[in-house]
Structure 1
Amino acid sequence: MPNILFAATDERWPEYEPVLRAALDATGMDYRLARDLPKAEVDYIVYAPNSDVQDFTPYTRLKAVLNLWAGVEQVTRNETLKVPLARMVDTEGLTQGMVEYVTGHVLRHHLGMDRHIVNPPHSWRPEPPPLSGDRPVTILGLGTLGLACAQALAALGFPVTGWSRSPKQAPGITCLHGEAALDAALARADILVLLLPDTPATTDLMGADRLARLPLGAVLINPGRGPLIDDAALIAALDKGALSHATLDVFRTEPLPRDHPFWAHPKVTVTPHIASETRAPSAARVIAENIRRAEAGAPMLHLVDRDAGY
């Protein structure tokens, strides 16, 4: 019978306990789920990186850690973690939420909705946008979230280029990979969406040089990770008109400090890290299935490559 420790902030336990129990009951396993267990008896940890558990050394019987967040950058660098780490891949909640956010903001910028929402007096300028087929979109990152967003946009008629470090294939998507192809992916992006993980290789990926590779007047949407962008370089590109707008959902420091220049910049939209959220009912089913598989001796799903960082 596996002992499962729920290690997240206190307010998450009432939200997760009933749905985790329901999902675990549905597997037919006997189990013990608790907020507090003797460390030497814990088999699995359902984990949020902002929990009190930061040293995994006392958990001598631990088999795996199951992350509640899609992002694992705060866990992969923990040298006390020696067991498999599974990231949260939840197509019902996390993925669908990201698809809706990205699609909504791509359409917003494609259609030029902001100028009509503000609607200055007597601004009668009948300038219809191009059709989606004439608006190339590039997505950096073709993991679960990036691929789902790429497919949704392609279904709306946008020419979508996806870039990843390793080769990927997807029907209807122009897939590029490797460092040498990154400039080509950027050069065709009227709208650029960042959905890469936060790793040492992606920190400040979008600095001045790469922002300059984008077509004049391009739009940047970042619901991925804050450190992907050099903030000062982005502001400079917006100020000189190289980029027309940036919609940002993630930041190096969150909440975004009140004095950060993004708040007041007329070409920046700040959203408060709402692009995608772990939904407890669907996340519980993902966690229960992974524990069931591990207990049955089957390969676990969504395991993190610790060297790659995702």
Structure 2
Amino acid sequence: MDMLMAMKVAAEIAHRGSFAAAGRALGLSPPSVSRIVSELEADLGVRLFNRSTRHVALTEEGQVFFRRGEAILEEIDALREVTRAQHRVLSGQITLSSSVAFGNELLPPAIAGFLARHPEVQVQLGVSNRTVDLIQEHVDIAFRIGVGGLPDSTLKAVRVLDYRLIFVASPGYLSAHGYPTDLEELKGRPVVKLFTGSWGHVHTLQTPDGPVEYRLPEAFSVDAFRAQLGAVLAGHGLSLMHDYVAAPEIAAGRLVHVLPGFQTVPQSVYAVYAHRHLMATRIRVFLDFILEWFKGRGVPLGGPEESEDRR
């Protein structure tokens, strides 16, 4: 028995609700469809479909087989398309949306790397912390932060990068104010707070004594990460900053990681997209490229995994 063909036949019957319609879609005669289903059910030892003269419905076992089988068929289609794409020129536009910090700091070099391989593709990137409607706004992939419920069941998401917020300060600031050793020592010190809307005022921090809710001082608040970075580099104050924004400045000696025992719980950037089975080849190839580009970067929590969404 050809298991792959049998899975395709079962999927077509489930979608179309008819052996005859499935046969027409696959170019098979009704007797061939019936034979394939019978052989498949015999091999599995379960009945997949309840049949009557007017109706075909999946059994409970058939529903499980259909869900798992459809996912496998989609991945096979994706593999086929990606492999074919390696031997032909990709073209067309990819429309992206991204949260501000990720879209400004980490995404442009990855996009440039992709375009170097596929120069006939055009990429349009919108950077905003607004949650876009992928379908209504014709966005192919949105890079979002956080985990929640996807509002549309046709959307899926995959984790791209894990990160934390860490405390940093300039060497000049630390020379003037000293190195803090706990959160209590931040009281009365200049602190630069990054916020967007309701986000950024209170953070859950991992500490030596367990998680705590910490409210940042209000003395100097900004709603743009570049303003935050500029103020901290100028020595105005200590700040709780995205680790991937701070990393190059720390490596160059312009910032210092302080209070290493106090940082936020890990957070994630996700790529949210319409169902992979409906993806154009250029979009699927781009998503696979992005996942490979960021593999192993950020907080070492493991590789990307499918998830349910994202802000």
Q: TM-score, normalised by structure 2?
A: 0.30
Q: Which has the higher strand share?
A: 2
- Please identify the structure whose Cα radius of gyration is greater: 2
Tell which has more relative contact order, 1 or 2 (C-alpha 8 A, sep 6+). 2
Q: Which has the higher helix share?
A: 2
Q: TM-score, normalised by structure 1?
A: 0.30
